[in-house]
Amino acid sequence: MPAGNHRQAGDAAAVQVVANGAIAFAVFLGGFVIFEPAPYELFLAALLGVWVICGMRIPREVAPLLFLFTLFNFGGIISSFQIEEYTRGLIYVAVSYFLALTSVFFAILIKQDMGRLRLIFRAYVVAAVITSMLGIIGYFNVGGFEIFTRYNRAMGAFQDPNVFAPFLVAPVLYLIYGVVNRSSSLMPLRAGALVILLLGLFLAFSRAAWGLSVVSGGLFYLLLIVNEQKARVRLKYIVIGVAGVVAIILLLLIALQFDEVSKLFAERAKAVQDYDGGQEGRFARHLLGFELALTKPLGIGPLEFGYIFAEDTHNNWVKALMDYGWLGFVCWLTIMIWTLVGGFKLMFRQRPWLPYVQIAYVVFFGHVLIGNVIDTDHWRHFYLLIGIIWGCMALETRWQQQRLDTAGGNPDVGRMPATRKSQAINPTGSARTSLLEH
C-alpha cells in the first residue's frame, strides 16, 4: 500500500478514536444534571454541530423520527403563543426539540457503527455507578454530600430522585446480562457495580423507579430465557435469577432494620399517596386536563398547567395535550407506538445487537408505563433509549437489505470494508462474539 494510503488510514483511525471518545463522554455526562443547562446539553450540542459540519446525513430509517419530533415541537410553538409570556414557552420547546434531536443523533451514530452500542452502554454504566455512589454517600450524610439527597431520598447528581432512580435501571440490566453471560474474570467488578446501583435505586425511594425495575427486569430476563436455545443455559438463567431475587430480598430485609429506612419505605411503598387521590389529587388533575384539552386544540401553553392547577401534569399524555396541543399529542402517540412496535420486532431476532436493544426496549416500555403518573418528556436518558431502539431498527433494515442483495446473486453488494469490522453485519450471527465478548 502506498505511503499516502497508510497515512490516510491512520488519520481515519485517529478520527474514529476521537469521535468514539467524544460520544462516550457525552453519554457519561448524562449522569450529572445538577443545574441547567447541564454539561450534557452543552457538550452534546457542540458534538452535534461538529457532526453536521462534517456532513452528517439523516438515514431514511431515522427520518420519520426526526419528522415526527419536529411536528411535535411545532405544536409546542403554536401552544406557546396561547399565553402572554410566550418566551417562557418557546424556551421550553427549544429544550424539548434539542432533546428530541439527541435521540435522532444517537440513532444515526448507531446506524453508522453498531460497535458504538457497547461504547454507549459502558459509558452509561460508569456514569450511573458514580452518580449512584454520590446519592448513597449523601443519604448517609457523609461530610457535605447531603446535597445529593432531597427529602431524605438519594438523588445523586440529579435535581430529583424520581429522575435519578429511573436513570439507573438500564445500567442495572446491562450489568445483570454481564454477570450471567460474560467472562468470570470481571464478575466481582460487575457484581460490585450492580450492588451500588441497586442500593442507589432503593434509597431513592421512588415508586415509579421501583415499578420500572420490576417490570423491565422481569421482561428482560424473560426475553433472555425465551431467546436461549440451549436447555442447560436456560436452567442457568433460572437458577441465577432465583438466587438474585433471594439476595435482593435479604438485602432489603437488612436495610429495613434501620428505623429511618423502614419508616420512609413504609411511607413510599403505598400504591396511592395522599397527593394522588381526592378531588384535587394527581389523578383528578389528569381528568381535568383531558377535559380541558377538548376545548383547547392548540394547547394552553408549555408549563401553563402547573400555574393553573398548582401542580404539574404528571402524565405524558396530558402534558402533550396541554403543552403541544392536539398536533403534539398525535405525534407523541405515534412516536411511542412506532417505537414500541418497531422495537418489538427485534426482540426475538438473533443479531449482534440483540441484548442492547432488548435492554433499551424493556426500559423504554417501562418508561411509557410510568409516563402515566410522571412527566418523562425532559428526561435525557429517555431520549437516549429511543435513539438506541431506532438505531437498531436501522441496523435491522440494513441487515435485511444485505441478505436480499446476497440472495440476488451479488454477494459484494453492501459488504463492509475490512477496516470497519465493527460495522460489518454477518447474517450468520458470528459477529455477536466480537461485539459482546468484553
pLDDT range class, residue 310, cuts 50, 70, 90: confident
Domain that holds residue 178: 3-436
To the nearest 10°, report the CA torsion of 321, 210, 156, 132: -140
CA distances from 79 to 27, 134, 162, 288 (A): 31, 39, 27, 18
Which cell numbers in the block locate residue 421? 469490522
Name the percent of the chain lying above pLDDT 70. Answer: 87
Write down how long the chain is: 438
Check if the beta carbon of residue 197 is closer than 8 Å to that of residue 168. yes
pLDDT over 60 (residue 207): yes
CA atoms within 13 A on the CB side of 346: 29
What is the pTM (predicted TM-score) of this model?
Answer: 0.89
Helix 86-112 × helix 116-139 angle, to 10°: 130
What residues does 308 pair with on adjacent strands? Answer: none
β-strands 149-150, 153-154 pairing = antiparallel
Check if the beta carbon of residue 102 is closer than 8 Å to that of residue 387. yes
pLDDT range class, residue 421, cuts 50, 70, 90: very low
Check if the beta carbon of residue 164 is closer than 8 Å to that of residue 32. no
pLDDT over 50 (residue 216): yes
Average predicted confidence (pLDDT) for the chain = 87
How many domains is the chain partitioned into structurally? 1
Q: How many CB atoms lie within 10 A of CB 11?
A: 10
Highest mean pLDDT among 112-126, 186-200, 396-410: 112-126
Higher-confidence residue of 75 and 2: namely 75
pLDDT over 50 (residue 127): yes
pLDDT range class, residue 429, cuts 50, 70, 90: very low
Burial category of 362 from C-beta neighbours within 10 Å (exposed 0-12, middle 13-18, buried 19 and up): buried
DSSP 187-225: HHHHHHHHHHHHHHHHHTT-HHHHHHHHHHHHHHHHHHH
DSSP 252-289: HHHHTTSHHHHHHHHHHT-SS-TTTSSTTSHHHHHHHH
Burial category of 330 from C-beta neighbours within 10 Å (exposed 0-12, middle 13-18, buried 19 and up): middle
Mind listing the pLDDT tens digit for each residue in 138-162? Answer: 998 887 788 999 988 999 999 999 9
Helices (H), 314-430: 316-344, 354-370, 380-407
pLDDT over 80 (residue 414): no
